Structure 1
Amino acid sequence: MRTRSSIGSANVALATPQATETSNLSETRVLFAPASDKTAMSDTLEILLTNDDGIDSVGIRAIHDALVEHTDANVTVVAPASDQSACGRSISHGGEIGLVDHELGYAVEGTPADCVVAGLAELGPDPDLVVAGCNRGANLGEYVLGRSGTISAAVEAAFFDVPAIATSMYVPVDDTPLREIDLSTDDFREARRVTTYLAEYALDAGVFDHAAYLNVNVPTPGKRPAPIEITRPSKRYEMDAEATDGSVTLHDRVWESMDPDTIPDPDGTDRRTVAEGRVSISPLTAPHSTNHHETLTELAETYHDRVATADD
């Protein structure tokens, strides 16, 4: 087992099912060989691919196939075994994480952040780039940066100084739940085009000298590639809740105002860009910056005297 560290450090304990037909993820044993047994690195672009919709989702299949078909990269897939949408940057605790082989790579019984740490520390060559997606549904606005598992996978990579791209596709919805909309890999063709383009050219262009990761959102695909706009995350956020007997229903109202003719977001924001049919790319940084200011400093300086007076 190798340890990958940069801004932080990671130690990963991974386990796989026993090699029997009746095994499940709860029957585990440590399997992986030491890092010294791994194949030496080559000059080939190494990509770690993950998502939050789960390894069997059509979005990750679409991106995987596009990267394999249209780039010279070696693609290692380490993705959640089940849907982990909106889990944020949560990480699993308690030791071993279930792991099984999958036709695309590895299915991990954990979160997208788990998958990134596992992929960086143990499950493949050191990646030059982490790609997360393609997510079923857009990830737009500042508020999703800590909520989206797709974006959080990119943030996790950024903490290890590995450039990352998080790709999501806007899917217009009416009364039909997003998860019930039937999508094929062809529906992700805009995401395929943009992600492969960025994977092929962004590193050499020096994009990641100025950004830790890219939050990419694509519109519903048209017949021709949509233009790209460099954006900033929208600040719009609107949620409410309705309580009934024994439960509370949460309503995310942001998606109710995606009409390009009436959308309230200003020009240059990710939501307006996607609503108007263009690809949004927001270059972002991690970790978050701090903002020291005099008022907080004054509170810190007077803390001891005020608390001591109150205790007397």
Structure 2
Amino acid sequence: MERRGIAIVNSDHKPTIMVTNDDGIDAPGLRSLVRVLVSTNRYTVQVCAPDSEKSAVSHSITWRHPISARPADFDGVTAYAVSGTPADCASLGVSQALFPSVPDLVISGINMGSNCGYHVVYSGTVAGAREAFFHGVPSVSISYDWVGGKSNVNDYTLAAEACLPIINAILAEIRNQTYPERCFLNIDLPTDIPNNKGYKLTKQGTSIFKMGWRRVTSEMQGGKMLSTMTMDTDSAVTIETDTSTPLEEDLLFRREVRGAHIADPDTDWQFLREGYITVTPIGALSNADTESLLYFKDWLPVVAEHESSSAL
């Protein structure tokens, strides 16, 4: 039995969870999540994740050429490393072209860094969950607010364990055919997971990095780059080197963080900073606010009238 492409969970079999991410198939966040899921012995776990880091690629997809999928080494799991984006991986993983059946739930993560506010738009982690949602499969994106000097890889295991009650509750609702179909969930876990304040239902805010550009020379290309859409200026970084050789006349510029901007209260980023595990329902549509809609309702007829007058 299926509904909008969602595989309904039968009581006599283990539900299937497919895991993807944007940090790459070897990322400790994904590996920790898979180990925790497998250790419960409650799910059939599959992995379809990028073969390399694809942070901040948003919802980009591969269109003009094939992508490859090669088996990856995971204990107790069928896993593939894919040459595409997180959205490619989610789409391929639920298509039944790679795995024999549609998963009951797709989890994207655990991301190295938070994904709140406007950064949800940039996030490849969130895009993996959103793509599954596009295909009618319940999905969740999970991110951990990694902070350099405070966090360590063991925190990913704690993050995965903290999400198990939510995962089990989602699967129970799917089994009962009562899980909502018009949204997916974006979960962010605070840096100090052992002392979290519990789950908090939140709304997506407008927090965003204050970013700028700095001109660099070709010798400076291998500097520090943000590895994720985390919103801490002291968060983890990774070294990325541009191996292309620029022409002499090319001007080179690198993004740099110039401080975080917190725009509104009572939203995902604020509650994450206060120590909550934030659970934010997200839809696929980006609707304008009511005030803007009312403005353009009056504005567009005036434009059309002016155009008609000008044509006379």
Percent identity over the alignment is 28
1:163-195, Cα deviation, whole Å (9 max, x unpaired): 111000001237xxxxxx9943x2213321133
Map 1:148-227 onto structure 2 (within 5 A).
148-173=123-148, 183-184=152-153, 186-205=154-173, 208-209=179-180, 212-223=183-194, 226-227=197-198
Whole-Å separation in 2 of the counterparts to 1:244 and 1:218: 35
Kept in 1: contact 2:119–2:207 (CA 8 A): no
Task: From 19, 24, 30, give the equivalent of 1:49.
Answer: 19
- Which amino acid is 1:59 matched to? G
Partner residue, 1:247: 252
C-alpha change, 1:243 and 1:95, in structure 2 (3 Å) is closer
Report Cα offsets for 1:60-91 as digits up to 9, x if no partner: 00001111112511111000001000000000
The answer to whether the 8 A contact 2:145-2:189 is kept is yes
1:25-46 C-alpha deviation (Å, 9 max, x unpaired)? xxxxxxxxxxxxxxxxx83211
Letter in 2 for 1:140: C
> In the comparison of the two structures, how many residue pairs are matched?
259
Higher relative contact order at CA 8 Å, sep ≥6: structure 1 or structure 2? 2
SS of equivalent residue, structure 2 residue 59: coil
**Whole-angstrom distance in 2 between the partners of 1:224 and 1:240:** 31
Q: TM-score, normalised by structure 1?
A: 0.73
- Which residue type is aligned with residue 206 of structure 2? K
Structure-to-structure mapping, 1:268-279, within 5 angstroms: 268-279=266-277
Stretches of structure 2 that go unaligned for 5 or more consecutive residues are 6-11, 217-250
| SS of residue matched to 1:82 | coil
Structure 2: distance between partners of 1:79 and 1:242: 31
**Contact 2:195–2:275 at 8 Å: present in 1 too?**
no
User: Is the CA contact (8 Å cut-off) linking 2:196 and 2:276 kept in structure 1?
Assistant: no
Q: Distance in 1 between matches of 2:294 and 2:14?
A: 50
Separation of aligned partners in 2, 1:200 and 1:71:
12
CA–CA distance in 2 between the matches of 1:278 and 1:294? 36
Query: What CA RMSD, in Å, does the superposition of the two structures yield over aligned residues?
Result: 3.0
Q: Does 1:136 align with 2:99?
A: no
Q: Deviations over 1:3-38 (max 9, x none)?
A: xx87xxxxxxxxxxxxxxxxxxxxxxxxxxxxxxxx
For 2:28, the equivalent position in structure 1 comes to 58
Amino acid corresponding to residue 98 of structure 1 in structure 2:
S
Aligned counterpart, 1:28: none
5 Å-filtered alignment, 1:15-94, equals 43-94=13-64
SS in 2 for 1:162: coil
The change in CA–CA distance for 1:224 and 1:237 in structure 2 (over 3 A counts) is: closer
The corresponding residue for 1:284 is 282
- The alpha-carbon deviation at position 159 of structure 1 amounts to 1.2
CA contact (8 A) 1:49 1:131 kept: yes
The 5-angstrom pairing of residues 288-299 of structure 1 reads: 288-289=286-287, 293-299=293-299
